[in-house]
Structure 1
Amino acid sequence: MNRFLSLALAAFAAVAALPAMAAQPATVRLDYLHSGNALNESYAMERVVIEPLPWPGDMRRTIDDTNRGNNMVEVVDAKTGELLYSRGFSTVFAEWRSTDEATHGNRGFQESVRFPKPDRPVRVRILKRDDRNAFSVVWTADVDTDAMDVLRKQTPPASMAAAPKPIAIRVNGPSPDKVDLLILGDGYTKADMAKFEATARKLADHLFATSPFKERAKDFNVWALALPTEESGVSRPSTGVHHASPLGTRYDIFGSERYVLTTDNRALRELAQYAPYEFIEILVNNETYGGGGIFGQFSTAAANNDWADYLFVHEFGHHFAGLADEYYTSPVAYQSNGTRQEPWEPNATALRDPAKLKWKKFVKDGTPLPTPWAKETYETASRAYQKERAALRAANRPESEMSALFRKDLESSNALFSKDPHVHTVGAFEGANYEASGYYRPQMQCIMFDRSEKFCAVCADAIGAIIDLYSRPGAGR
């Protein structure tokens, strides 16, 4: 028996051996279209699908109390209105509508919500945050999961010879007791499959060597899955590179050369449904620095880049815990609307009232708010760094030169911050959420701010809350 067949059979056995899965309800997926522009948006149902695998989550934690995401899905009893299931999430559409393109044109994006199959007709509600940061209903759909038009017993797409079997990277117990992370590969040929598995294992090891994931490693299962493609790598349109890949992942999303996403939600879900999952990270078989992360949807990372370890963890922070980017000197595709609304993300604030700082429990008495730091010196150095970075990309220089520049920039920041008396202080440091002023981050450095190796105390706590939502601490250890 060859090695790859052995791995596939082992993965299948691992899934089949999870006893609690048998008692779980089926997994329902509602696919819909989300369209509009900067001012208006609309929704339309496409289909309801019963996925091949049972619901992977803990049926005792069906209600989300973490208050994360731009949106919330609620599943309620159609007759009584009883809340049966809820989860916060964000969308690619929400990011797109903050770009300049959305001010003069319409676009539509595929989206999905998944929930455990109910035993009665339900109403699925999509909620969105309003100007007061409160959720309000923007769309409803009545769903009878036993209706004749619900899609069941799907056959694999033509691109799949048979239903794919996930590779078991880490299995610590039954899926309902654990957080299930699925690592998908895009841009890997048949000859690259061993490389994909090795990279998935390496990056998973790095994730669980990073706190707070390190301390909670036994609360996770990790699976890997990839469909082979004809060419190695994914598309990078800004350089004239166009590759067909199973998930359609590509660089240059919204005009940002380093932003990597897929907008083919159908392809993503039709592959992912063959593994137990609650979170997805897509590895692209590319060297060029890049990645992306959408809370509750997926994250991506350039698997062959020198900074792949950092990219994997940073982007997973967005996807898994809804963490905001804390950096503000790098160019991004988003357009500021000039307002300073309090972010819902747990690690950024507009600091309207220092006495009500959202991470106040981590702030020691006597800490000044805002908290002083060498902001001007940092920004002067960052302007020079960004100019050099742009020049390297414009000249299409080797990726090794970009990696060296990143190392130089991090060393410079570390040297500057190490001298600051507040280097380890939790406070409110101005400069976050892509804005130099008006937004504040909890600590001077964090994986969400620069390419350092640690999450700040606030981000670590926010990650822990999501782990608690999806896992049953102590189970299966």
Structure 2
Amino acid sequence: MSTVDGAVIGTTKIIDNGPASARWNLVIMGDGYKNTQLGQFANDVRSFVNNFLGSGPFNRVPTAINVYRVDVASTDSGADDPATPTCEGTGAVARTYFDASFCGDGLPHLLVVKSRTALAVAGNQVPEWNLVMVIVNTTKYGGSGGSVAVFSLADRATEIGLHEMCHTAFGLGDEYEFYRGCGRDTDRDRHPPIEPCEANITIDGNRTTNKWRDLIAANTRMPTTQNADCRFCDPQPNPVGAGTVGAFEGAHYYHCKAYRPQFTCRMRALRNPWCAVCERRIYQTLAPYVKPVVKRVAAVTRNSGRLDAFWAGRDAKLWTNWWDQAPGGGWKEHSPIDIPIRFLAPETSVAAVAQKDRLDVFWEGRDGKIFNNWAQAPGWKWKPLMPVPIAHELDFTVPPAPGTSIAAVVRTTDNWRPVDVFWTGTDCQIWSNRRTEAPGGDWSDHAPFPIAAEFSTLPAERTGIAAVSRHSNRLDVFWAGSDGQIWSTWWEQAPDMGWRDHFPFPIARAFSTLAAQRTGIAAVARNSNHLDVFWAGSDGQIWSTWWDRAPDMGWRDHFPFPIARAFSTLAAERTGIAAVARTSNHLDVFWAGRDGKIWTNWWTPGNDWKDHPPRPIASQFSVPPAPDTGIAAVARTSGNLDVFWTGTDGNVWTNWWTPGDDWKDHPAFTI
């Protein structure tokens, strides 16, 4: 009935991903558990947490979350169950610490607790909490949102908990079209003409102004469904494919004039996946709390005797280290330095470009922008107060997608020295911006833009992006499409050759094997008239195709192929891929294998891809590559290769090759 009916016993941190000040903190408490039942409560919490962290999108950001269990003993088991005319409960009365009770607001299954008491206990036990949940020890179906998420141990306990969590923590609304039940409501015909604040509910069925319009395909009807009789719940079945995003009438407890994003969703009916809008909202809320991990590494050479590597560290800093052939310039002869940054996103990629007197590095900011810092000769000092977004602050109208790949390229060394950068936006288009040293050519002098007037097939989620300049007036960009094909578009400094003067296209007439999900992509121009592109296939092999200016050598004049006769070890899932041409007649490609090694294969005019098997690039890998590792490869001369990747220990690893020192002659090592 009140806090005299029990006691707070103690708190246990059961999922520890770092300090509470840096993570999203979930506090789970119990009500209606007697002191002798706290072992059962611990098991109930563990069951919920395992299911919670195993479901998307939480399984994409597990390191963002700490979980605390607060043991609270009650005098009695269960919850109050009023026997009112509207609720028809058993009449049971339970003396519990948080006074759990069914029949909230006169609804039989609205299970509530004294939220002020629950929040006070949570604040005392975990001051930096983000969400407070209470599990009530009863098998009767019930739950509620509000300031505290509450759920019972009914058959679908985890589902109830996840649904209520999304109300409380992520501001998502109910997508069902009734309050007391279909056929029981008489005041729920039409939603009031006020736009709901919830991300997944709208009264706007217009394609151009709808709040989730960026997720709606061009051929999807708007509104997608309409209720023919607003006195009742809409009985029609789903008229479109599962997963289609549109505007489906009937939501927010009203039969008409309120729309939900998909036909069904966990916020509409339990045991369904979340709709795309809900999933995005959850991810965007949690992503800033992700524990930084080293996944992407960039490397460049600014002269034949120098290498620079860049990576985002677990400490949310951007780091660099270098090698120089001069005495005292080895990797281990100095310490890495952290580059002044702003707002490093948790899973940012890193891209870098080198010119003879300037280094530029790019990363994704936590605030939805792409950032840049640079160092220049003489001195080569990173700008201490000058990391800048690569467009005016207000011009990032579409933020980068969380974890997007970033590609950067310098296409000419003339006086204007243009640098072009590419990334994926949250609208699933490929975006770009450019800096030159010409008047009016700075980042902030123009806005980012999509590199096509239309993407008939949207890029795949977290696709790799590759950009290459085969001569000073040309750019080609490559990415994986959501259809499993590799797509491209191009720009040329000539009339009617701009990004929006033509459409993206698949780089082959047919793909017998589709690209692997989240594959890395590499592209290289070994001369001004030839392009080679590489990616991982869904079969675990590395695939390629090519283009040449010669007749009958276009993208659609031949088919993609694996770059080996056989792969004794398949490519790791989500592997990065790097390719380099150390001469105009030599190609080397690198990827991570499923055996915890970095692999390579090579081509010359007299030695085709299938004339030799792939091989590991070291005699020993004492630490395997990290899952989802990026790979960078650099040829600082025609007789040197250096490869970089991230290990599961959070360090950046490397190995090297020269004609006199083969890959297998030395082990991989940290930089």
Where does residue 300 of structure 1 map in the other structure? 150
Give 1:208 shift.
Answer: 1.0
Residue of structure 2 equivalent to 1:67:
none
1:224 corresponds to which residue?
69
* 2:284 counterpart of 1:434: no
1:326 matched residue in structure 2: 175
Measured in 2, the distance between the counterparts of 1:231 and 1:284 equals: 12
The 1:164/1:363 distance shift into structure 2, 3 A limit, reads same
Query: 1:19-49 deviations in whole A, cap 9, x for unaligned?
Result: xxxxxxxxxxxxxxxxxxxxxxxxxxxxxxx
Cα deviation, residue 462, structure 1? 0.7
Change (3 A) 1:159 1:257: closer
Aligned partner of 2:149: which letter?
Answer: S
Q: 1:283 aligns with which of 113, 131, 135?
A: 135
Shift of 1:381: 9.4
Decide whether the 8 Å contact of 2:48 with 2:158 is kept in 1: yes
Q: Secondary structure at the match of 1:438?
A: strand
Is contact 1:188–1:226 with CA below 8 Å preserved after alignment?
no
Give the structure with higher Rg (CA). 2
Range with greater deviation from structure 2 (428-437 or 445-454): 445-454
Deviation of 1:372 after TM superposition, in Å, equals 3.2
For the residue of structure 2 that corresponds to 1:225, the secondary structure is strand
Matched residue count: 281
Measure how far apart 1:193 and its partner are.
0.5
1:291-313 deviation per Cα after TM superposition (whole angstroms, max 9, x unaligned): 0111xx2101112x111121011
Kindly state the Cα deviation for residue 228 of structure 1 after the two structures are TM-superposed: 1.0
Aligned-pair distance for 1:272?
4.5
8 Å CA contact retained: 2:65, 2:289: no
Do structure 1's residue 269 and structure 2's residue 269 form an aligned pair?
no
Paired with 2:10 and 2:228, the residues of 1 have a C-alpha distance of 50
Equivalent-residue separation in structure 1 for 2:224 and 2:176 (angstroms): 16
Q: Distance in 1 between matches of 2:131 and 2:211?
A: 26
**Is the deviation greater in 465-474 or in 245-254?**
465-474
Change in Cα spacing, 1:267 to 1:321, as seen in structure 2 (3 Å) is closer
Cα 1:452–1:270, aligned 2, differ >3 Å: closer, same or farther? closer
Q: Which runs of 5+ in 1 are unaligned?
A: 1-156, 383-412
Could you list the per-position Cα deviations for residues 437-460 of structure 1 after superposition, in whole angstroms to 9, with x for gaps in the alignment?
Answer: 100000111100112331111000
For the residue of structure 2 that corresponds to 1:301, the secondary structure is strand
State the partner residue of 1:141. Answer: none
Structure 1 position 171 matched with structure 2 position 16: yes
Q: Which runs of 5+ in 2 are unaligned?
A: 84-88, 294-313, 316-649, 651-671
Tell me how large the CA RMSD over aligned residues is.
2.8
Are 2:130 and 2:169, in contact at CA under 8 Å, matched by a contact in 1?
no
- Cα offset for 1:266? 3.2
Deviation, 1:374, is 9.3
Amino acid corresponding to residue 23 of structure 2 in structure 1: K
Write out per-residue CA displacement over residues 54-100 of structure 1, whole angstroms, 9 at most, x where no aligned residue: xxxxxxxxxxxxxxxxxxxxxxxxxxxxxxxxxxxxxxxxxxxxxxx
CA contact (8 A) 1:164 1:274 kept: no
Query: 2 CA distance for matches of 1:374 and 1:438?
Result: 9
The secondary structure found in structure 2 opposite 1:281 is strand
Partner of 1:259 in structure 2? 110
d(CA) in 1 for partners of 2:17, 2:37: 27
Q: Could you tell me which of 341, 361, 374 is aligned with 2:194? A: 341
**Amino acid aligned to 2:162:** V
Q: TM-score of the superposition, structure 2-length normalised?
A: 0.39
Query: Once the 2 structures are TM-superposed, how far is the Cα of residue 196 of structure 1 from its aligned partner?
Result: 0.5
Counterpart of 1:302, as a letter, is S
- Does the aligned pair in 2 maintain the 1:181–1:223 contact within 8 Å? yes
Report the alpha carbon displacement of residue 248 of structure 1 after superposing the two structures with TM: 1.5
Partner of 1:371: 224
Partners of 2:62 and 2:290 within 8 A in 1: no
Report SS of the residue matched to 1:451: coil
Deviation digits for residues 219-262 of structure 1, max 9, x if unmatched? 10001113211211111113211112111221110001111122
In the aligned structure 2, how far is the partner of 1:465 from the partner of 1:350? 23
Compute the displacement of 1:352 (Å): 5.7
Over 3 Å counting, the alpha-carbon distance change for 1:269 and 1:451 in structure 2 is: same
Aligned residues of 1:368 and 1:427 also touching (Cα < 8 A): yes
Higher strand share: 2
Give, in whole Å, the separation in 2 of the partners of 1:262 and 1:209. Answer: 27
Percent sequence identity over aligned pairs = 26
Distance, in Å, in 1 between the alignment partners of 2:253 and 2:19 is 40
CA deviation after TM superposition for structure 1 residue 170, in Å:
0.9
- Residue 280 (structure 2) aligned to one of 461, 467, 470: 461
Note if contact 2:122-2:129 (Cα within 8 Å) is conserved in structure 1: no
Q: 1:355 aligns with which of 196, 208, 217?
A: 208
Q: 1 CA distance for matches of 2:25 and 2:58?
A: 13
Report how far residue 421 of structure 1 moved: 3.0
User: Which residue number corresponds to residue 73 of structure 1?
Assistant: none
Contact map agreement 2:109 2:141 (CA 8 A) in 1: yes
Residues 335 and 471 (structure 1 numbering): CA distance in 2 closer, same or farther, change over 3 Å?
A: farther
Paired residue secondary structure (1:198): helix
Taking a change above 3 Å as real, the CA distance of residues 264 and 211 of structure 1, as seen in their structure-2 partners, is: closer
Contact 1:310 1:453 in 2 (8 A): no
Pairwise CA distance, 1:422: 3.0
Work out whether residues 30 and 136 of structure 2, in 8 Å CA contact, stay in contact via their aligned partners in 1.
yes
2-structure distance, mates of 1:175, 1:369:
44
Q: CA deviation at 1:164?
A: 3.9
